[in-house]
Amino acid sequence: MPNYADIFNREMLDELFPATRTDEFFEALFGDAEDGSYDISLSYKGESENGVDFELQLRQRPGCCLACNLTYGLPQVFSRHPIINIQGMAQKIGEALGRPENVSWQLGATREMSRELHVIPLSVRLD
């Protein structure tokens, strides 16, 4: 069995969710990337019996507030938003593991890790 941590290194995570995607998301949402209060990145969390677990990490931008009311509704928004493209990301994860067929995914509820960091769990299943 491959070591998933080696596959989902920082380079691969940045390929799956490029840093530029945050600004693209805020441009689409607000008309200006500068109006966003956080940066989004993808983090590998581990493997499970039939899949791989990640987090979308929301890090507060300098001078901004990462308020709970801004992040708690995001799983529903992210699940449908074409720029965030969770389905495309899950498909690429399946491809990286040599199992692109029957890939499914689920976003969990936003968790507040600190005032500066909120996370949204992403489980990718390879059935």
pLDDT of the residue at 34? 80
* Mean pLDDT computed over 47-66: 91
24 CB-side CA count, 13 A? 10
**pTM score > 0.85 for this model?**
yes
- Please check whether residue 123 is in contact with residue 53, taking contact to mean a CB–CB distance below 8 angstroms: yes
| Spans of all domains in the chain | 4-126
Q: For residues 93 and 99, what is the distance between their CA atoms, to the nearest angstrom? A: 8
Kindly indicate the confidence band of residue 1, based on its pLDDT and cuts at 50, 70 and 90: low
Q: For residues 46 and 53, what is the distance between their CA atoms, to the nearest angstrom? A: 5
Both tokens assigned to 30: 């607000």
Segment among 5-19, 29-43, 47-61, 111-125 with least mean pLDDT:
29-43
Considering Cα of 79, then 84, then 87, then 89, what sign does the dihedral take?
Answer: negative
